[in-house]
Structure 1
Amino acid sequence: MQPVTGARRLRLATVLASVLVTPLLRLAVVRHAVPSNAPSRTGCDACGAVVSLTRPWPALGPAGRCGRCRARVGPPPGTIEIAALAAVALLVLVGPPLGALPALAWWLGWTLPAVMVDLAVHRLPDRLTLPAVGGTWLLLGAAALTGAGVGPWARAVTAGTGLALFFAASTLLLGRRGFGLGDAKLALSAGALLGWYGWPVLVWGLLLTFGLSALVSLGLLVARRARWTTHLPFGPFLLLGTAGALLAT
């Protein structure tokens, strides 16, 4: 039997943590998948039953249904669990350097529920995107201090800041036709992760992101499921583009 190295221990701990936090991910989506001006959801919309970790109704499980009235609460059944498994697969397949693995795991833990919220109500809540930024930058900084060097971290910060400014500028110049400020905040962390691995990875990630967005938009137009003025949530494409670029490294 081969000895378990530090990298293997860290990957195993990441996989176990991903499984254990799945109810937290579903709870985050349930709480924040509301319109921007509405208060966070605290229970079942149909009967008012409280949904929380201290009162673990089946809404926090794969079925996603209220334990009292069986109405659906939050995302469709199994979607969070499938997304969590995909995140674990990404962590295993990407096999990032030991120091960058915690940053990627942290980013996925906050970005997955944020993207689910974006799909549901077309917004990326600050309570999910800002912790993703802070933790990702700090953990990449720790990786720089423990061996990777200052260069990758400086490149990551530059890439994240530049991408976020580009998204924010489109919002200011184009209004609703541009990206949202939530997209800009998500870009702070996504751009940092891509930039950590190099400028070519950042470019590849952006090409994948915009390419996927264009393909889906064209498909919806052809199927007459959308119009030219339809605004699609961009968070899912940014997540998929980032994941695809990291897998290609």
Structure 2
Amino acid sequence: MGDPRPAETPAADGSWRRALAVLTLVPLLRCAVARHAVPPGSDRRTRCDACDTPIGLDRPWPALGPAARCGGCGGRVGAPPATVELATVAAAVALLLARPSAVELIAAAWWLAFVVPLLFVDLAVHRLPDRLTWPAAAGTWLLLGSAALAGAGAAPFLRATATGLGLALFFAATTLLLGARGFGIGDAKLALSTGALLGWYGWSVPVLGLLLALTLSGVVALGLLVSRRARLSSHLPFGPYLVLGALGALLLVW
């Protein structure tokens, strides 16, 4: 009897390879977290805070690996051990399971390459640096525009543009109206790329992503209050929840 499993098509095999290519970015993502996880107003981190060992991909730097430790003093640098690796693997698996079209896959991979370090930076220092949010938005828009020119048409691209701008304006408005109680300007910049990627798939998808993000952040905040690990005045970073909500919505539509 023949093998009952369907043979993998060349297109599917190409999608697997493109998604697995995301894993090669792990050292770059770790470096981005280590460099940008600094307090607002500070310069990017270029050396170990404890022993002044340079941070860079051109040098042996164990902090870029799962151990996340400085090669000079052994101190912890950047994101916690193995977390960036696990997040990147989870993103690659999601892309493998979803199997969007080639251009959509590249756009999603570009977005993920920036939002993964943004997630860890926001958790560490409650900021979303422009050096990561702006390239995420510009690249996502250009790649979706390429998908429109390649045959998807103008309608999904115009919808993506409208939802990206609309979501960003919503976050910015809460900052202007509510101050520290609203979302941050960094969240608005992250919303440019996130809203565009979600809007490509329909008007309801950004709404679903935002609802998932708000629900998840509310559950976590309630859990922290019940466990007395946070106060009502505490400010939780919203960037990670926006990313997770967007991923949840994308997995539902892919």
| TM norm structure 2 | 0.95
Structure 2 Cα separation of the partners of residues 113 and 3 of structure 1: 33
- Residue in structure 1 matching 2:139, options 135, 138, 152: 135
Structure 2 Cα separation of the partners of residues 115 and 12 of structure 1: 25
Structure 2 residues not aligned, in runs of 5+: 1-5
- Superimposed CA distance per residue, residues 83-115 of structure 1 (whole angstroms, 9 cap, x where no aligned partner): 110110121122222321110000000010011
- Residue in structure 2 matching 1:9, options 14, 17, 22: 14
Structure 1 residues not aligned, in runs of 5+: none
Matched with 2:29 is 25
Matched with 1:193 is 197
Structure 2 Cα separation of the partners of residues 139 and 184 of structure 1: 20
Matched with 1:102 is 106
Between the two proteins, what is the percent identity of the paired residues? 60
Aligned residues of 1:7 and 1:98 also touching (Cα < 8 A): no
- Residue in structure 2 matching 1:64, options 58, 64, 68: 68
| TM norm structure 1 | 0.96
Structure 2 Cα separation of the partners of residues 104 and 39 of structure 1: 29
Q: How does 1:197-236 map to 2 (within 5 A)?
A: 197-236=201-240
Aligned residues of 1:164 and 1:187 also touching (Cα < 8 A): yes
SS at match of 2:97: helix
Matched with 2:176 is 172
SS at match of 1:227: coil
TM-fit CA distance, 1:2: 4.2
- Residue in structure 2 matching 1:145, options 138, 146, 149: 149
Matched with 1:248 is 252
- Residue in structure 2 matching 1:111, options 115, 131, 134: 115
RMSD: 1.3
- Superimposed CA distance per residue, residues 6-33 of structure 1 (whole angstroms, 9 cap, x where no aligned partner): 4531431331x21211000000000000
Q: How many residues align structurally? A: 248
Matched with 1:86 is 90
Structure 1 Cα separation of the partners of residues 174 and 207 of structure 2: 18
- Residue in structure 2 matching 1:45, options 49, 60, 78: 49
SS at match of 2:103: coil
Structure 1 Cα separation of the partners of residues 87 and 185 of structure 2: 24
